[in-house]
A and B are shown apart, each in its own frame.
Chain A
Amino acid sequence: MLLAVGSLTVMGAALGTVLGVAARFFAVEGNPLEAEILSLLPGSQCGQCGFVGCGQAAAALARGDAKVTLCPPGGKAVAEKLAKKVGVRVDLSEAEDRGPMVAYINEDLCIGCLRCMQECSTDAIVGAPKQMHTVVSEVCHACAKCFKICPTEAVEMRPIAVTISSWHWQKPGALQAPPQVH
């Protein structure tokens, strides 16, 4: 009886110590997931997800309060990465993927008001006051802030056109069954 009580006490004390030490040694500062998720997001603080900036969106994702498909500029690619990171399965084959987009300024409608330039988070719009503006498509990531602010609706969001250098072969169709015989 005493032996049992004694040994259990010793075991409890020893294991408790181990756990205590482990907790100190392997302590985790904050939620590392949040920082990792933040690194996957575009970081342009465009707010299309409904959160104020990418940091809040990352926090919500880490808590599990947001869907991995929340980021429109990131598209399918970011959604896939997020799903892998937070460990959820998401069926993206059905998800509408508009593909990558860019902003395009309609020259006839632009009045050169500079508002879009001030709004653009990557400085992708070039132009001068009272002169037509242009989008540098290489650095436009389709946050659509300019689209929203343009007073003359001169900004359009267009899908990035496929070129010969970006074109690639499609995946072969699903296993083709031999022709049906009746």
Chain B
Amino acid sequence: MKILVDKSAPFTHAPTSVQKTMATVLLALVPATLFNATLFGWPAVFMFLITLGSCLGAEAICLSWSNKPVLPTLFDGSAALTGWLLAMSLPPWAPWWIGVLGAVFAIFLAKQVFGGLGQNPFNPAMVGRVALLISFPVQMTAFIAPRPLFSSTAPGFIESLGITFAGRVDFDSISAASALGYVKTELSRGIPVSQSVPHLPDLMDIALGMHPGSFGETSALLILAGGLFLLARRVISWHIPTAVIGTLFVMGALFNAINPDRFTGGVFQVISGATFLGAFFIATDYVTSPVSKRGQLVYGCGIGLMTWIIRSFAGYPEGMAFAVLLMNALTPLIDHHIRPRPFGRTRKGEPLPLARGEK
């Protein structure tokens, strides 16, 4: 009897796979997605489906162009996750072509150009979002107040088709600013933070999601629940989320204490905008984050710090996407310089010295 000896040990394997990991992340996004779909109505549902579908389509086209097997790779779930996260970061009533263009940026330019899964230096969803934000600032900041499905303010199905596919919507009359955007605008008009914040919905409403913002990021609590689910399933570790949120909170609280008229508080920084989505789902993207735990802490702190700086000083009200991309660029450097300490060696790689008194 001849038996295979083409491979060395081990001959047992954990029940892990790329598909399983991706599916878990998608599952963690479901509650927040369903909630927000209800909150923003049919146009949001259309936008979500178009973005997701375009990403899958773009991936399929790229794979067939490069003569790679299409179906198995498509079902590894990575393109679906990119599409899903991109949709979460777009304004809920964005027109159809925003979703399609975003998918082209994310899958063509950020992922497949570099060789597909595992090869991309930058988070594809964030590349898609940032490219859209820079190219179409008006459409990308046209947020609306929640209009829950089947409520009196919500557009009907047919009307919604018009909004998404024919641009039959007058944003000037209905658009509302996100919390971060509102504070920034008021600040530029000379109104101090301490006076503009009381005009916002209260923090509990912001945490629940009852405020204008991107499709996926408004419901901070459901995103947090999804993130905790990922932590419990050990898909992600605590290092990156804690570092991001912690740094953001510390910077916010510290500077708010120094100058409450200029800087918003720590809790506000953490609850508003894309903090939770970014910290648990975007920054933790395996491919573009460091592999060592200490490296992940550095990376997370970097994202928190950059986000705070962009939110506080730059022209854009939200900085999570930029911060993630900037730290993505540093990931190879972090991985090169921050390594675990090898067994029996010092951090510098020298063998440990023998204790005194022994040979």
Contacts and interface: CB of A to CB of B under 8 A. Distances in A.
A17 B8 CA distance: 64
A181 B68 contact: no
A172 B9 CA distance: 12
B198 interface: no
A174 to B, nearest CB: 14
Interface string B64-81: 000011111100000000
A180 to B, nearest CB: 5
A71 to B, nearest CB: 33
A178 B68 CA distance: 9
Interface residues of B, number: 8
Contacts of B7: 172
Nearest to B73: A178
A169 interface: yes
Interface residues of A, number: 7
B69 A178 contact: yes
A177 B8 contact: no
Contacts of B68: 177
A131 B69 CA distance: 66
A180 B8 contact: no
Contacts, number: 14
A179 interface: yes
A181 B8 contact: no
A148 to B, nearest CB: 40
B45 to A, nearest CB: 31
B8 A169 contact: yes
Contacts of B70: 181
Contacts of B73: 178
A167 B69 CA distance: 36
A179 B70 CA distance: 10
Interface in B35-79: 68-73
B8 A178 contact: no
Contacts of B69: 177-181
Contacts of B8: 169
A177 B8 CA distance: 20
Contact of B71 (A169, A172, A177, A181): A181
Interface of A: 169, 172, 177-181
14 contacts: A169-B8, A172-B7, A177-B68, A177-B69, A178-B69, A178-B72, A178-B73, A179-B69, A179-B72, A180-B69, A181-B69, A181-B70, A181-B71, A181-B72
Given A169-B8, A178-B69, A178-B73, 9 more contacts: A177-B68, A177-B69, A178-B72, A179-B72, A180-B69, A181-B69, A181-B70, A181-B71, A181-B72
3 shortest interchain CB distances as A-B pairs: A178-B72, A181-B71, A169-B8
